[in-house]
Chains A and B, each alone.
Chain A
Amino acid sequence: MKLLLKAISIGNDICKNLKETLKHNLRKLLTTFILLFIAVIFIFPLIFTITNSLMSEQEINSSYSMVNSADGSVRADLAGSYAKLKFIPDIATIRQYYNVLIKKLQFLIMFWNSVKITIPIVFGQVLVGSMAAYAFSKLKFPGRERLFFLYIIVMLMPFQVTLVPNYIISDKLGLINSFLSIIFPGVFSTFGIFLLRQFMVYIPNEYIEAAKVEGANHFIIFTKIVLPMTKAGIAALIILAFIDNWNMVEQPVIFLQDVNMHPLSVFLSSINSGERGIAFAASTVYMIPMLLIFLYGEKYLIEGIQLSGLKG
C-alpha cells in the first residue's frame, strides 16, 4: 500500500514535470516561430532576388513590365494590372547569368571596377588604421585624447562638408576621373582607427612591458604582439569596410565622369526596363562577394559591431 502511494506520487511528479517541460517547450517553440516569421520578412528581398534571377528574360518582362522604370512611362494596355510576387520560375534557367557574365562585357568591367575601388581602400585602411590605432591605444603623447576626439568628430560628419575642397584638391593633383580620387579619402577614413583602437585597448599593457624588458622596440611589439592579438578586430574591419565601400554610390558619381569607370553599385541603379531581364542575376552576382565574406566572418563582424558600442 505504501509502495503504491509512493508510486502514485512519483507518477504525479513525472506528470507535473512533463506538463512543465511541455509548457516550457511550447513557449520556446512559439517564440522561435514568431522570430522566424519576422526573420523571413527580413530576408525576403534576398530570396526574391535570387529566385527571380533564375527566370528567363521573357518571364521577367511579362511579370514586371507594368512596373515603372527610371525612364517613366507605362504601356497603356498595362494600365490596370499589377505585378504579382513570383518566387518560383515557370522554367528555371541560367540564361540571365549567361547574359550577365559572358555575353555582356560591360557588366564584368563594372564588377572589376568595384573590386579595383574596394580592395585598395580596405587594404589601406587596415594598414594605416592599425598603425594609428597602436599609437592611440598603447603610446603616450601629448594631445592624444584631443586628436582622437577630432578623428571621431570628422568620422561623423557628412561627406559633403569636404566635398568641394576635396574635388579641388583631386583636380589639382590630377586625380579626377581616376580611381585614386575615391581611394585616397577612403583609405584615410578614421573609422578603421576607431574600431581597431577599441580592440587594442583590451590588450593588457603587461605584454608590452614584458617585451620591452626583453629589449623589443615598438616596431617589433606592434608586428609581433599587438597585430596578432588584434586579428579579430582586423577581420571585423575588413568586413565592415568592405560593406561600406562595395556599396559606394555618391563618390563615384561625382569623381568619375567616365561611365565605364563606374562601379556596379552605380550601374545597377541606372538599369532601365530594357535591361530588367538581366538585373536580378546582376544583383545576385553583385551581392555574392558580400554574402561569402559574411558567412565566413560573421563571428568577427558580430564582435566588431559589439566592440564598436563599448566604452574604450
Chain B
Amino acid sequence: MHLRISGHKTKGVKSLNAEGKTALLFLSPSLAGFLLFYLVPFFWGMYYSMLSSPVNGKFVGISNYLDLLHNEYFLKAALNTLLFTFLSVPLSLVISISLALLLNKNIFGKEKLRTLFVTPLVVPVASVVLVWQVLFDSHGSVNYLMNQVGLQPVDWMNSNWARLVLIIMYLWKTTGYNIVLFLAGLQNIPSQYYEAAEIDGAGTFKKFTSITLVYLTPTAFFVFIMSIINSFKVFRETYLIAGAYPHDSIYMLQHYMNNMFTSLDYQKLTSAAFIMAAFIFVLVFALFRIERKISSTLV
C-alpha cells in the first residue's frame, strides 16, 4: 500500500485519448457506485455536520464540532477509543512479530500451526460471543478459576477490567492476519544479509536488531495502520457482548455515534464521525510520510 502521487499533472488534457475512454468504460460501474454511495454522501455529510438541524437547518459552520468538544459523553468515548488503540496496537505488534519469528524457525508442522493462528480471522464474531460471555461474566469461568486458586473474583465486564477483556478479544481476532504479513516480510529478507553479518562476526541479537527489525519496518508500518483501523472496529465485539450502553471504560466512539443515530441527533453523529475520519486521515498520512523517509534510507 504505497501510493505514488504523481507530482506533475498533464496539463490541458480536455479530451480523453482512446485508452482513456476505455478506462472510463471499465471504471464507470465502480465510479457510479462510488459517487452515489461514498463520495456524494461524504460531502453531503460534511455539509450536514455544519447545519443547525437536519430539517431546515441554518449553516452554523464549525459550531457543532465545538459543541462536541464540550460534550462529556463524546469526550469520554473519544478518550476510551484512543486509550484502547494506544494500548492494543503496540501489544498486537509485539505479539505478532514474536509469533511470526517463532513460526519462521525450523519447526514441525509449520503450515498447520500457521493455519491455527489464522483461524480466528474467519470465525464470525457473533459465533464466539457466547464463549466470551461464559468466560468473562461475573459468574463466569475465569472467575471460577480465580476462585479455585484463592483470588478475589472480578466483575470483568462491569469494571475497568472490561478494557482488558476487549484487548484480549482484539488480539485474538487480529493476530493471525498480522502474523501472515510478518511471515511474508521475514521471508523477503535475503539470507545473504545474515550470512554477510555472520562473516563480520555479528551475534544473534545484533543480527536481529540490525537486519530483521530494520527490514521488517515497511511491513510493520502496514500492520500498524491496519491494526489501528481494526482497533476502531472492536466496537462490534463490545456491542455484541455488552450492548449499546456498556461499562464506562469501554464506551467507544462508535457507541456514541450509534446512540446518536438512535436518538436522531444526526448533527452530533456526523460531526463525531468526521472528527474520527480526520484523525484517521492525519494518522495515515503522517505514517506514510515517515515510512517513505525510512524506506528511502534503506536502499
B197 within 8 A of A: no
B88 at the interface (CB under 8 A from A): no
Contact-residue bracket for chain B: 35 or more
B residues in contact with A152, CB < 8 Å:
1, 3
| A247:B125 contact, CB within 8 angstroms | yes
Within 8 A of B (CB), among A175-202: 184-185, 187-188, 190, 193-194
Q: Is A105 located at the chain interface by the 8 A CB criterion?
A: no
B38 touches A82 (CB 8 A): no
* Majority SS at the chain B contact face: helix
What is the chain B residue whose CB lies nearest that of A84? B144
A164 contacts B102, C-beta separation under 8 Å? no
A265 in contact with B126 (CB, 8 Å): yes
What per-residue 1/0 map shows which CB atoms of B44-59 lie under 8 Å from chain A? 1100100000100000
Q: How many residues of chain A have a CB within 8 Å of chain B?
A: 106
- B244-299 residues at the A interface, CB under 8 angstroms: 254, 257-258, 261, 266, 269-270, 272-274, 276-277, 280-281, 284
CA–CA, A188 to B32, complex, Å?
9
The count of A-to-B residue pairs whose CB atoms sit within 8 angstroms is 313
Chain B contacts for A32, CB-based, 8 A: 107-109, 113
B166 within 8 Å of A (CB atoms) = no
Contact A298 B130 (CB under 8 A): no
Inter-chain contacts of A49 with B (CB < 8 A):
127-128, 130-131
The minimal Cβ–Cβ distance linking B120 to chain A, given in whole angstroms, is: 6
Give the distance in Å from the alpha carbon of A137 to the alpha carbon of B127 in the complex: 38
Q: Is the CB of A160 within 8 A of B273?
A: yes
B217 at interface, CB cutoff 8 A: no
Contact with B along A135-178 (1 / 0, CB 8 A): 11001111011101111111011101111111011000000000
Question: In chain A, what residue has the closest Cβ to B47?
Answer: A165
What 3 A-B pairs have minimum CB-CB distances, sorted nearest first?
A: A188-B33, A82-B144, A165-B41
Q: List 7 A-B contacts (CB under 8 A).
A: A49-B130, A81-B139, A148-B3, A161-B277, A162-B41, A298-B118, A309-B181
Please list the residues of chain B having a beta carbon within 8 angstroms of any beta carbon in chain A: 1-6, 9-10, 13, 16, 19-20, 22-24, 26-27, 29-31, 33-34, 36-42, 44-45, 48, 54, 99, 102-103, 105-109, 113-134, 137-141, 143-144, 147, 153, 172, 175-177, 180-181, 184-185, 218-219, 222-223, 229, 232, 235-236, 239-240, 243, 254, 257-258, 261, 266, 269-270, 272-274, 276-277, 280-281, 284
